[in-house]
Homo-oligomer: A and B are copies of this chain.
């Protein structure tokens, strides 16, 4: 049932069952094969999107064609919605990276919900605030750390074990190329390849065409946190 799935979406956290039913009733659901472009950078933003299954890559490209991967959207996450509140144009492309299921609502509907259920507004601020925080964290990394550390951070974030949770292994279970990794941390695919290969040789990570596994999370954490000082 759709409402049950929507209940797990952070954007709609704390809503009463009746409200969830209403939200669900107004949704448009789409199944999308891998490689589908959901929206393109620069086009008019018209809908609020939530991913129910699969994985979507959000990537921004500048005038020279160089790309930056803003983030990967996972199950239950909202995307493409901030544009509705700013300049009404998507700042990036969204493309499915595996077969996916998406739900969306028109802007008018979202505003109606926001008005009727103020909790959604708070959720929205919390979500966008958390993203702003993460973006600023990345800015700090990009400005001060070296490539190796940035890649380590990127992997930890993707595997959801960047928190202090003492996870001993993390998995990224969707295709992630060296180029993807490079475009997430401002490096070239060559450098990313060299770093990853070195880690594989050391037994810290394993990767194939289906995803990446972090075997030695503590080791990767150590690299991520490694101060500029060289180590023994």
Cα A60 to Cα B140 with chains together (Å): 8
Check: A28 CB closer than 8 A to any chain B CB.
no
Are A129 and B185 in contact, CB atoms less than 8 angstroms apart?
A: no
Are B86 and A133 neighbours in the complex by a CB distance under 8 Å? Answer: yes
Q: Mark A150-179, 1 if CB is under 8 A from B, else 0.
A: 000000000000000000000000000000
A74 contacts partner chain B, Cβ-Cβ < 8 Å: no
Give the docked Cα–Cα distance between A85 and B123 (Å): 9
Binds B, one of A15-23, A113-121, A197-205: A113-121
CA separation between A131 and B86, bound complex, in Å? 10
Tell me if A189 counts as interface (CB < 8 A to partner B). Answer: no
- How many copies of this chain are found per oligomer? 2
Q: Decide yes or no whether A30 CB sits under 8 A from chain B.
A: no
Checking B68, B124, B133 against A144 with a beta-carbon cut-off of 8 angstroms, the contacting residue is B68
Report which of B114, B130, B142, B225 forms a contact with A139, defined as CB distance below 8 A.
B142
A136 in contact with B136 (CB, 8 Å): no
- The reply to whether A68 and B186 form a contact with Cβ atoms under 8 Å apart is no
Q: Does A64 contact B (CB under 8 A)?
A: yes
Say yes or no: B138 contacts A85, CB within 8 Å: no
A114 to chain B, nearest CB (A): 7
